[in-house]
Amino acid sequence: MCETCGCTLTAGNEHLVQGEGRLTRTEDGKAAITVLQSLLHENDHQAEHNRAHLDAYGTLAVNLMSSPGSGKTSLLETTIEALQSSLKVAVIEGDLETENDAVRVRAKGVPVVQITTGSACHLDAHLVHDALHHLELDGVDILFIENVGNLVCPASFDLGHHINVTLLSVTEGDDKPAKYPVMFRAADLLLLSKTDLLAVLDDFDPAAAEAHFRNLANPAPVLQLSARKGEGVEEWLHWLRQTLMVHRARLRQGITSRPSVQPDGVQVHKHGPAHQSQHYHHHHDHDHGHKHHRDPGGQPHHDHHYG
């Protein structure tokens, strides 16, 4: 069984996999196949491909998730302004119906690809793959993927990104992590946003929000930020730069990065870093035009040809 396809393999169930794909008979004589593979195998497969593509350019992909209206786009505007002299940023915008967010971010002078999802409540790896075809990644240090504003569905889909940032604005309840455990468990950084409003809100306690967050056994850092007032922006930028540095150092060793909690993938990571270095070399049956020629970290890098 492939370790990069998102399947859950533990010491406890490994023996079950020995018969994987082999035909056996059930008690009443029916043919049965033991699979033990993620339900989202197709999505995960595409996500691995996206990640390999991004890695070939040394681009760090950050998945931004939150409720609608918690300040993802404002955060992007502030971040792009602050980074424009030092890092090259690109954005993929997921939005249900409008291009409003894309227009706002594009006004900051960075490449933006809009994915209008229609009624779909989340981005998936296939949508991101299509968007990547419209994005020139050469020289791009950080790709922000602004997911659809939703605290439920986006948590279940690997996009091929490297890290999850979840926003919780102080205008929401401080018990949101307890109400949406799947989403907040997946956060590699929790950003409490709109903190300038804490002065006028008496029902949001940042310490309570963090306590609910820790109850999910999540050790990720928690930062407070007001994009409007510029408070906490330095700490956020520091985290971003550190994350990029660590990611690039890993890439130089041929190891990619993944969110610490993957949908259905947590068990896979217990096998240690070795498998993480394996780029996905599955042969696609569709024609694919990517050529990965950029060297992310100064080491010789082989071209990957998919298709």
Partner 1 sequence: MHEFSVCQDLLRQVEDLARAHNARTVSAIHLRIGPLSGIEASLLEQAFTVARAGTVAAAAVLATEALPIRVRCRSCGASGVASPNRLVCGACGDWHTELLSGDELLLASVELELEEDDDV
Site residues (vs partner 1, CB under 8 A): 7-8, 23, 26, 30-43, 120-122, 124, 152-153, 155-157, 177-179, 181-183, 185, 212, 214-217, 219, 261, 263-264, 266
Decide: 271 and 9 in contact? Cβ < 8 Å. Answer: yes
d(C-alpha 273, C-alpha 255), whole Å? 8
As given in the structure block, the two tokens for residue 18 are 């020995």
Q: How far is the CB of 263 from partner 1 (least distance, A)?
A: 7
Per the DSSP assignment, residues forming a β-bridge with 61 are 143
Least distance between partner 1 and beta carbon 65 (Å): 12
**Contact call for residues 56 and 301 (beta carbons, < 8 A):** yes
Alpha-carbon distance 110 to 112, whole Å? 6
Of 105, 112, 108, 163, whose CA–CA distance to 134 is shortest?
112
Residue closer to partner 1 by CB (options 23, 274) is 23
At 278, list the tokens.
């394996």
Distance of CA 182 to the CA centre of its chain: 14
Question: Shortest approach of partner 1 to residue 241 CB, angstroms?
Answer: 27
**Which phi and psi (to 5°) does residue 284 adopt?**
-80, 150
In the complex with partner 1, the residue whose CB is nearer, 182 or 208, is 182
Which of residues 111 and 181 has its CB atom nearest to partner 1 in the complex? Answer: 181
Asked if 167 contacts 198 with a C-beta cutoff of 8 angstroms, the reply is no
Nearer to partner 1, 152 or 249 (CB): 152
Q: How far is the CB of 269 from partner 1 (least distance, A)?
A: 10
Q: In angstroms, rounded to a whole number, what is the distance separating the alpha carbons of residues 170 and 201?
A: 8
In angstroms, give the least distance from the CB of 287 to partner 1.
19
Query: Least distance to partner 1 from the beta carbon of 267, Å?
Result: 8
Helix (H) or strand (E) holding 183: helix 181-185
In the bound state with partner 1, the residue whose beta carbon lies nearer, of 22 and 202, is 22
Choice between 8 and 278, CB closer to partner 1:
8
